[in-house]
Structure 1
Amino acid sequence: MVEQVPVTGDLPGLRPFRVAVPEAELADLRDRLRRTRWPEAAPAPGWEQGIPLEVVQRLCRRWAEGYDWRATEARLDAVPQYLVTVDGLDLHLLHARSPHPGAFPLVLTHGWPGSVLELLSLVGPLTDPPAHGGRAEDAFDVVIPSLPGYGFSGRPTTRGWGIERVARAWARLMALLGYDRYGAAGSDWGTSVSATLGVLDPAHVAGVHLVPPLAGPRPDGGPPSPEERAALAELAQRGRESSAYSEVHRTAPQTVGYALTDSPAGLCAWLGEKLLAWTGPPGLTDDQVLDQVSLYWFTRTAASSARLYAESIGQVAGWLGGQDEPVVRVPAGASVFGAEVPRPSRRWTERRFPDLRYWAEHERGGHFPALEVPELLVEDLRAFYRHVR
């Protein structure tokens, strides 16, 4: 399905990349933050009408006065990074090879409002397990691309860059890197892209690990269990109370992009609301939130990242409702974290992923396990891929 290119030193078309935000950009950010025009506090208590004023003001004070982007930049630049043109678009990727022979290739995909920074803490434990309490035979070569329109990847200028086209680009990317057989894993959009990759490139995808798997009930599937009813109720509540961002991204990514690209406080509120609300206790630190917000700010990708919703969120919503689910026949593993929504059952998952070889449910963690509970996610990845290496 895809052309294989052997690894012989530098690969054709792979251009080394480093992050170096100009100092003038940092100064401009701080100036904008200090001149923010704030709204009044909400008349409703807590988070009832969105992220509270005092939370956003706290984040923005930290962003302007104490947050160290240069330290974050250095963490990124400590991992080999590249740009490569695939399907006419420049893709940014982190590519960390393991020092251990026989390491298994793994492409990790982030989502929104995440980025490659979300997955950075996984690189060391996955590429060099003995240095992090693991076994050398569990080592991975790790590839972490930035989704099209996200981070330092190019921004599509035409329609059509939905999850299928992204998955095809990932298949081509892994071939360019010389990997004939590999795994795919991810969360949020990364779940959809990885599952689709398993459908489109089964000759090369050894298995997919999903956080969580996207599968829903069917009318002919019998009555839901008490746990399934609770999960469906939480998903419905999420849809009623906090899905406005998704509808805006789906219907008007350009419109919201003007405000989010021009106002750092606005961007901080828009992304920070989900980064904080979708986690389990104790949640993310302010600097973990600002890492993600900063990357979106400096790359000016608020609008381009939102367009993936216009391309594919309707399709994904159908899968959550048990409709039009393509069966993924490659081996699959799944991790479901306690504060995550949705939380599909194993029964629903096995219908869509009939070769389900690994299932884990965790009380801790939420939508961003690589930031919240990386040790649990790393162990799940190691455990699942032992079945398919």
Structure 2
Amino acid sequence: MAAMKLPVMPPVSPMLAKPVAEMPPDASYEPKWDGFRSILFRDGDDVELGSRNERPMTRYFPELVDAARTELPPRCVIDGEIVIATPEGLDFEALQLRLHPAASRVRLLAGQTPASFIAFDLLALDDCDYTSRPFGERRAALVETLAGSGPTIHVTPATTDIRIARRWFSEFEGAGLDGIIAKPLNLTYQPDKRVMFKVKHQRTADCVVAGYRLHKSGDDAIGSLLLGLYTDGGALASVGVIGAFPMATRRALFTELQPLVTTFDDHPWNWAAQAAADPALARRYGVGSRWNAGKDLSFVPLRPERVVEVRYDHMEGKRFRHTAQFNRWRPDRDPRSCTYAQLEQPLTFRLDDIVPGLGRP
């Protein structure tokens, strides 16, 4: 990186988006990709992959470094998203597993679950700094610059037709995308500023509270509640957590939930015992590893008798993709009635239909 001499030099904090309920008019609209935000810097053979927190991710994605050297102009800076695309859609869990400390594991995963880079903004090209130019001009230059890229680096689709953007909002979720980003056409590139707009799906679900984790401040407050839904076979599946409570509520919840505290003997989520008995599960859950991308095995089990309504944006597989938000308690609901059947099922949509060549086996 020290040898780089670009008009925009790393580290750079990416430009951000603020949530809105409706798509703003008179903008450029593009899918909101579900991956790792990254600004890619290339100066000849020197390639750097930055992240949202400005820490380099270059070592974790050697296949993207190789692709940048073969598919990009010799000197450029491009804002985009690192994703793992499969025939079934985006796989964020596989992407998380790529952040591994062992170089041998990084090389293995680069071959087994290769990543792609979705480009959506141009910050610099050759000796020209594009950050002060309006987005409409940056977008046109990006499309022209990456016209010959592929099969690893792709340009995100975009439209200025809000009717098309609304159709994308409903259709593309079926491929694992989680909303729409709207960018004013005259917008300059403003690092770390929430000057774009994002529209995400908002839904509710009634979930069973089956456990809690303690708050980091002490033993008399709830840190998060563990949520479950019943499958068609009658098993209680773990779907996510809620944890954004005022401290007074955390303490009150701790007292309220004590009568429901039980043992792991008959609890469906005795993950620690399951992992101890099965080495494959232990590896999956990453017991004792700071790189664990699976479940935290330490929690206080509760009898699954309380129901809470939560807000969520979308699912990834059988779990909430992001932390759900508390809506209200549902004392009127039978916990056994809290099943996956209540969830809205998005249309199935192929990544290849959004970006040709993406997600092909």
- TM tier, smaller: under 0.3
In the superposition, the TM-score normalised over structure 1's length comes to 0.23
In the superposition, the TM-score normalised over structure 2's length comes to 0.24
Q: Which has the larger radius of gyration?
A: 2
